[in-house]
Amino acid sequence: MSELVERVDEHDRVLGVVDRDEAVRANWPHRIATTICRDREGRILVLRRAETMSRFPGCYDVMVGGAVNVGESYEQAAFRELAEELGVRVPVRFLFKFLCRAGISPVWFGVHEAVVSEALVPDPVEIACQDWMTVDELLEVADEWLFVPGGPEALRRYLESGSGSGAGEPAAG
C-alpha cells in the first residue's frame, strides 16, 4: 500500500510529494509526528512495537506517532496517530522538532506532549505492550533496551526542555 508524504529539505521546507518507501530508499527527509505521553503523575508511556511492524519491530519507544500525511500539520498528525495507535483523543502540544539521521532515512520529528488520563486501547498490530514509567525508571533502562532510532534523543530533548517535570494538563498552544 502506497503512503504519500511530503519530501522536505534540511530546513523542513516542502519540496514535493513522494511515496514514503521511495523517500526511505532515496534517503530523502520527510516528516514524522510524534507524541510523548505522560499521565497526571508525570510518568512517561513506554511501548514496545509489535514484532510484525515493518520498521523497528520489537523496539521500545517513548514516542507514539507516524508519518505526516500530505497537507497535514504536525499537530493534526500527532492527534490522529494517538487515536489510531492508542485509541485516545486528547489535546497535543507541539514542543520542538529536529532532524533525525539515526534511522533508516532522515526524518524531521515533530515532537508533541499529551497528558493521558483515559484508558488506553492500543492497536495490537502496532503495539505489543506498554507501561507507564517514571523518568528515573526510564533512565535506568535507556541504555539496556533497544529503542527506535531518535527515541532517546527526543526523550533527552524533552527532559531538557522541562516539559516532563510536572503533572497536569499541557499548556494551551
User: Each residue of 89-104: pLDDT tens digit?
Assistant: 999 999 999 999 988 8
Residue 163's pLDDT is 75
The predicted pLDDT at position 170 comes to 41
Q: How far apart are CA 29 and CA 123, in angstroms?
A: 27
Per-residue pLDDT at 166 exceeds 70: no
Nearest to 15 by CA among 65, 70, 67: 70
Query: Residue range 31-48: average pLDDT?
Result: 97
Q: Which three cell numbers stand for residue 122?
A: 492500543
Determine the pLDDT at residue 142: 84
Output the CA–CA distances (angstroms, integers) from residue 57 to 13, 96, 125, 132, in the order listed: 30, 26, 11, 20
What integer is the mean pLDDT of 162-173?
50
pLDDT higher than 90, residue 1: no
Whether 27 shows a pLDDT value over 50: the answer reads: yes
Q: What percent of the chain has pLDDT over 90?
A: 86
Residue 77 grid cell: 498528525
Cell 518507501, residue located: 21
Model pLDDT, residue 167: 42
What would the mean pLDDT of 31-50 be, rounded to a whole number?
97
What band does 162 get if pLDDT is binned at 50, 70 and 90?
A: confident
User: 118-148, pLDDT tens digit by residue?
Assistant: 999 999 999 999 999 999 999 999 889 999 9
DSSP string, 105-173: S-EEEEEEEEE--SPP---TTTEEEEEEE-HHHHHHHTTTS-BPTTHHHHHHHHHHTTGGGS-SPPPP-
69: which DSSP letter? B
Can you tell me the distance from the alpha carbon of 117 to that of 69, in angstroms, rounded to the nearest whole number?
A: 27
- Of 122, 152, 150, nearest to 48 (Cα)? 122
Amino acid 2: pLDDT: 73
